[in-house]
């Protein structure tokens, strides 16, 4: 017997949830009895690592040995830490270390092995970011059976599966990204009808505004600004104080922090109103994106039956007030915003098991299958590089944005010149007609040994097969010779430029 857990792998904090014998999801505490684990990894000199609170505390003394906010680098090849033995750690490796600790904590709490896991990802994650998340779970010794989008998981955490009919809007402001999804419920089927986001806007940007205010106050009082290189310990302390100040201002009208650098002390006091004035434009960006998503879906606020603010950032009063002002409705909070995605991930695991006719057991209880289906959509269009009539290399869309997942689509293309015997197929993420060099390249592969013909008829058939996790397989076939080739997007090769 083994447990399946849901994990919200957060930019700043990671949460996990498990199903109870009643079938309801429940937040699972870590080895320290904490409901969240700080997404921080600290490297000791002997090669061992600290995770979570211990890592955050150790970072106060030696910040150069700690890695946090790694999630913003998922899908890249950026080295975040290099150990003295030369081992380089990238975002996927850091995520794997954190997930390994989450697995150990879950096994200690449940008393059973954890093999299968559902890990949530931002709705606007690319194929590469999703694949690296899946691979990180595998490095940690777990099989990621599903990678639901965070807003969809959060909706499940808010008991969307108990709504018989209606439209829900999920406003998800996490530590590193902002996502908004519009979800339609009809009986036992839930469909995401629109999803958008701002990948580079999250709680860290709100923190940055606070940090700048504190630094400006320090400089005004002491005639200098601490240097990040010379005063690394001060900046590590500042990071924690800023986060706590933001949290406190959600429940208090005024808060203070005390910081010291080189013996110079600053007592910084901020009111909630002052904080909200500092971040108003950031909130306005999220509201504008939300309303644009509604408009693109052909909907308006009056047609929305439930509004779920989820993610740590959504707990700020300025966010709730802005949402309610824009919509003219009260927001719905059936669970704490922090934990919605993790709780929903556990529910998603139960749904996934039911779809595969697999029993899910909690202790001595075998849960009955849940008769509920969710259907995600593609958050970014995918196509191939092709020549347009002006001989420009553009993205020719095969899977459009908002395509239901899973999906298979096929299109035919001409060769570029007579007598061509080989064609390179470059897989791109971007809008139809965008210049290829402005799109994200996911990889490429060759279709070789084509028979020579004097014409350039539509003969190259390209098929994109996207699975339930949004992971892509690209296939190409020459309809004249039946020569075939395919590509499972290899994240290692793409990240290192091996297939470009």
**7 has pLDDT over 80:** yes
What pLDDT is recorded for position 493? Answer: 32
Residue with tokens 């719905």: 332
User: In the chain, helix, strand, coil percent, each to 5?
Assistant: 35, 35, 35
Quick one: tokens of 161? 């599966």
pLDDT computed for residue 214 by the predictor = 92
pLDDT greater than 70 at residue 497? no
Widest pairwise Cα distance in the chain: 80
* In the predicted structure, residue 491 carries a pLDDT above the cut 60: no
Whether residue 263 has pLDDT greater than 70: yes
Q: How far apart are CA 275 and CA 250, in angstroms?
A: 10
Q: What is the mean pLDDT of residues 346-370?
A: 84
Q: What is the pLDDT of residue 494?
A: 32
Select from 8, 31, 2 the least CA-distant residue to 104: 31
Phi, psi values for residue 265, rounded to 5°: -110, 140
pLDDT class of 2 with cuts at 50, 70, 90: low
pLDDT digits (tens, 9 = 90+) for 291-319: 999 998 899 999 999 999 988 888 899 99
- What band does 138 get if pLDDT is binned at 50, 70 and 90? very high
CA 94 to chain centre: 15
Q: How many residues does the chain have?
A: 500
Nearest to 385 by CA among 400, 372, 398, 374: 398
Instruction: Report in angstroms the alpha-carbon separations of 206 from 242, 251, 325.
Output: 10, 17, 20
pLDDT digit string, tens, across residues 48-67: 999 999 999 898 888 889 99
- In whole angstroms, what is the distance from residue 435 CA to residue 222 CA? 51
CB count, 10 Å around CB of 388? 11
């Amino acid at each position: 017997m083994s447990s399946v857990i849901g994990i919200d792998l957060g930019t700043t904090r990671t949460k996990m949830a498990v199903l109870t014998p009643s079938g309801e999801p429940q937040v699972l505490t870590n080895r320290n009895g904490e409901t969240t684990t700080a997404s921080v990894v600290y490297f000791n000199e002997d090669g061992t690592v600290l995770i979570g609170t211990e890592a955050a505390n150790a970072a106060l003394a030696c910040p150069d040995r700690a890695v946090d906010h790694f999630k913003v680098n998922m899908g890249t090849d950026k080295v975040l830490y290099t150990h003295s033995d030369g081992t380089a750690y990238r975002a996927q490796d850091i995520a794997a270390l954190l997930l390994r600790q989450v697995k150990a904590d879950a096994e200690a709490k449940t008393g059973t092995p954890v093999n299968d896991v559902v890990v949530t990802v931002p709705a606007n994650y690319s194929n590469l970011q999703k694949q690296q998340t899946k691979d990180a779970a595998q490095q940690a010794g777990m099989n990621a059976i599903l990678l639901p989008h965070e807003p969809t998981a959060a909706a499940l955490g808010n008991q969307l599966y108990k709504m018989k009919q209606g439209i829900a809007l999920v406003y998800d402001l996490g530590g590193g990204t902002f996502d908004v999804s519009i979800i339609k419920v009809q009986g036992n089927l839930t469909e995401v009808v629109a999803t958008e986001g701002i990948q580079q806007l999250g709680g860290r940007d709100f923190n940055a505004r606070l940090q700048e205010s504190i630094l400006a106050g320090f400089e005004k009082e002491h005639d200098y600004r601490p240097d990040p290189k010379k005063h690394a310990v001060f900046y590590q302390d500042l990071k924690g104080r800023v986060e706590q100040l933001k949290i406190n201002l959600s429940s208090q009208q005024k808060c203070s922090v005390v910081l010291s650098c080189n013996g110079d002390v600053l007592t910084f006091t901020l009111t909630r109103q002052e904080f909200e004035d500092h971040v108003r434009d950031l909130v306005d960006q999220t509201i504008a994106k939300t309303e644009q998503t509604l408009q693109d879906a052909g909907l308006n606020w009056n047609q929305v039956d439930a509004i779920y603010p989820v993610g740590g950032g959504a707990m700020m009063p300025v966010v709730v007030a802005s949402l309610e002002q824009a919509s003219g409705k009260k927001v719905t909070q059936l669970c704490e915003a922090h934990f919605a995605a993790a709780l929903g991930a556990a529910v998603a695991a139960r749904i996934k098991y039911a779809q595969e006719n697999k029993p899910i057991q909690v202790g001595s209880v075998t849960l009955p299958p849940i008769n509920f289906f969710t259907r995600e959509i593609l958050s970014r269009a995918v196509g191939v590089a092709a020549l347009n009539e002006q001989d420009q290399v553009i993205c020719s869309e095969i899977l459009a944005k908002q395509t239901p997942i899973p999906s298979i689509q096929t299109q035919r293309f001409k060769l570029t010149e007579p007598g061509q015997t080989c064609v390179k197929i470059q897989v791109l993420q971007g809008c139809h007609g965008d210049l290829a060099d402005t799109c994200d390249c996911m990889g490429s592969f060759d279709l070789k040994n084509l028979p020579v013909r004097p014409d350039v008829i539509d003969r190259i058939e390209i098929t994109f097969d996207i699975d339930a996790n949004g992971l892509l397989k690209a296939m190409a076939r020459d309809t004249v010779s039946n020569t075939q080739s395919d590509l499972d997007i290899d994240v290692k090769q793409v990240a290192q430029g091996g297939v470009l």
